[in-house]
Amino acid sequence: MKDYLNKTHADLANLLAEKRAALRVFRFGSTGGKAKNVKEGKNHRMEIARIMTTMTAQKNEAAKAAGNKRMK
């Protein structure tokens, strides 16, 4: 998670797209019996959640810095 904190929003968005594509490939690849590591799907989902959490935290910090009264 610490490595995501130093990335920009654009970098996180690109990384999120890559992880979602990897999860999609894993899911459709597993229907044919190609999956060797069955925990790989869980790992992809966890990484996606970490990235989205970091993006939300950055958005909330930016709103708080801008003086948005709802983000206190």
Quick: pLDDT tens for 1-60. 678 888 989 999 999 999 999 999 888 876 666 667 878 889 999 999 999 999 999 998
What is the per-residue burial (b if ≥16 Cβ within 10 Å, else e) of 29-39?
eeeeeeeeeee
* CATH number of the domain located at residue range(s) 2-65 in this protein: 1.10.287
Q: What is the pLDDT of residue 32?
A: 67
DSSP codes of every residue in 8-70: -HHHHHHHHHHHHHHHHHHHHHHTTT--S-TTHHHHHHHHHHHHHHHHHHHHHHHHHHHT-TT
Rounded to whole angstroms, the Cα distance separating 13 from 40 reads 21
| 3-state DSSP assignment of residue 2 | helix
